[in-house]
A and B are shown apart, each in its own frame.
Chain A
Amino acid sequence: MESVIGRYRNLIILVGVLFLQVLGLAMQVKKNGMDEEKTRLIRIWAVGAVTPFERGLVWVQSSTTSLWHNYFDLRGVRAENRQLKEQIEHMRLEQVRLAEDAAQARRLQTLLAFKEQFISRTVAAQVIGSSGSDHSRIIYIDKGENAGIQRDMAVMTADGIVGKVLLVYPSVAQVLLINDESSGVGALLEKTRLQGVLRGTANGEVMLERVMSDEQVPAGETVLTSGGDQIFPKGLPIGTVTKVGSGKDLFLNIKIKTAADLSQLEEVLVLVEKQERQATADDAVRMRASDILAQRLPSVPDKPAGDANSAASALGINGQSTAARPKAEIKQPTGTLAKPQGLPGMSPPATTAKTGVTGSPAVGTAKSVKRLASTSGASITVLPDQPIKPTDPDATVPKTPNGSAVPKTGIEPEASQTNPQIAQPKPVARPTPPPANVQPPADENKPQ
């Protein structure tokens, strides 16, 4: 017997060690899932052994980079400064227009008693490590329990979402990236408003699942968080559709390119507190997720105060910021319908109404109104997106069926109080599709 044991000693030990590991593995995966709490201590040891080195190296690297950027790498700063100033001017104009849209959307949400999710507090953290394996797409950040981070908190950058907190240690946290196979995020296509589930694949790609194959999803469409997972607030950017193919079980196979570069993460924000409140039109100065992201990230400079004011005054509008302006001032549209840019029947993009400066299309303004109307059952008359000229305010104001003037920027709650047929929400007996609720005037696209 002893000779047998002695002869096969190595093999017996191998089998024994393997058996122990299989046993440990079986204990972890029993009861449908991995019990993270039981393996926590052993993970703490490993993480504790590796992360100090990573912290040190990241510190050395960031210090060196900072030194270089602050003292040596100043070539071309003047030109860059000039370019940035020009960019700021453009962005100020854009901001005025977006503030208008935001204020309008907020009023509509109030009108329809919608609830909004807001980011109350975030913690900026630096990425210090990864799992080092393509079978486990996680990163480590240098903030943990001591900084108020908890499990299942959303992690993002200014570009888009990154993942969620999986495990929390005192000074380090483990973040599961959205391209990991075990990750899942509620997602929403921006234009078509189709909802799906975002999942990672074995080779690190991100796919949008659960979208029916009879739906039309164009490549390039933006994907946003839907808020359905209770982790990410609604409306944060995820990425864009790059490829659409037919999948299995009547679902589409939609490949997504993430907005945040998941392979080159340096700083991230952890959403430690969010609030869900009923939307109020008065709360116009409340910050959105993207604003907070833009302010918190170290690479993005703080938003200068009074941008909108200066931009508005530079454009000859009354000097108040849209965000700070009372709602009564927003309500009166001043522009008229301009000639449509496209073919008759097509909805040209909306441009800024008050500044007269052609901006990027106000995607979602009229559409969101239509959507709100259709979801709430309210009968709302909405003008299609039209370019508006700031001249001759009363020349060609479109009329509603009863002959009253319709505000050109869409609908307004104030207007609805005087004219119930325009924007007064009223219950409808049978839900109708969005086009049925939206009644554009007959001459909406007619050239003038």
Chain B
Amino acid sequence: MSSRQPTRISHNSVPITYTSGEQVEVYRFSIPVTIGVPLLALFAQAFVPLRFPRFAMYVDLPLLVTIFFAMARRNPISGLLTGAFIGLAQDMLGHNPIGIYGIAKTVVGYGASSLGVKLDVENAGARFLVTLGFYFVHAAVYFTVSRGLVNMTQTWSWAHGILAALANAFLGVVLYFVLDKFKQRT
């Protein structure tokens, strides 16, 4: 992770943050990538468990895609909307009420994009930690909403949670490097 410099107040009183000593870079994506990658992630998430049943237990590809787009765009509104759409689409594939994943991924999208503004998230270590952290944020929000609002029976297992967070973080690092190829500088 890069060495962070202290926040300075400029003459117009707008806080400026730096990442890696350079200006933050904001990326955008082509429309096919913006639509196709989340759709592909949803498809893989639905299909792969048929052959590898444990995949769904430990990996959440739509979450990784949400984090990636949110961090790359570095725009909280864009991040939360991306998270909301991906989450709602994921909800639609299940039988639980629509909105649980939507809310969880909205929060993650907002958080990841907000963090992306302030942190250098281009290196593998930072990405690993960010994904690890946001997995727990996602799980916590999902758990709270499903128990508190929908009254679903949910049990939390720390062992499973940590394993899943690690699995997602490892896979995320690899996936982000692949998805970096689709980035376009603004």
Contact = CB atoms under 8 A, between A and B. Distances in A.
Interface stretch (B26-34, B38-46, B120-128, B175-183): B38-46
B56 A13 contact: no
B29 to A, nearest CB: 19
Contact of A14 (B43, B98, B101, B106): B106
B98 A39 contact: yes
Contact of B151 (A29, A45, A166): A29
Interface string B44-83: 0111111001001100110000000000000011001100
A43 interface: yes
Contacts of B88: 21
A318 interface: no
Nearest to A19: B103
Interface in A1-45: 9-10, 13-14, 17-18, 21-22, 24-26, 28-29, 34, 39, 42-43, 45
A13 B80 contact: yes
A265 interface: yes
Interface in B141-167: 142, 145-146, 149-155, 157, 160
Contact of A57 (B47, B95, B96, B145): B47
Interface string A113-156: 00000000000000111111111101110000000000000000
12 contacts: A10-B80, A10-B114, A21-B103, A22-B99, A25-B150, A49-B89, A128-B47, A129-B46, A135-B154, A136-B93, A174-B95, A263-B49
B24 to A, nearest CB: 16
Given A18-B106, A25-B99, A132 B152 contact: no
Interface of B: 39, 42-43, 45-50, 53, 56-57, 60-61, 76-77, 80-81, 84, 88-90, 92-103, 106-107, 110, 114, 142, 145-146, 149-155, 157, 160
B92 A42 contact: yes
Contacts of B50: 127-130, 139, 265
A136 B103 CA distance: 17
B45 to A, nearest CB: 3
Given A22-B103, A136-B95, 12 more contacts: A17-B106, A21-B84, A46-B93, A47-B93, A49-B42, A50-B39, A50-B46, A133-B60, A135-B154, A166-B95, A203-B155, A203-B160
* 7 nearest A-B residue pairs (beta carbon): A136-B94, A46-B92, A132-B45, A263-B53, A25-B99, A131-B94, A10-B76
Interface of A: 9-10, 13-14, 17-18, 21-22, 24-26, 28-29, 34, 39, 42-43, 45-47, 49-50, 53-54, 57, 127-136, 138-140, 166-167, 174, 176, 180-182, 202-204, 263-265
A135 B94 contact: yes
A9 B75 CA distance: 12
B99 A24 contact: yes
**What secondary structure prevails in chain A residues at the interface with B?**
mixed
Nearest to B48: A132
Given A131-B93, A131-B95, A176-B95, A25 B39 contact: no
Contacts of B151: 29
A34 B152 CA distance: 12
Contacts of A46: 42, 89, 92-93
B103 A13 contact: no
Nearest to B84: A17
Contact of B93 (A17, A50, A202): A50
Contact of B46 (A21, A45, A131): A131
Given A54-B43, A130-B50, A14 B92 contact: no
Given A14-B106, A18-B107, A21-B84, A264 B56 contact: no
Given A14-B76, A25-B150, A29-B150, A132 B97 contact: no
A203 B154 CA distance: 9
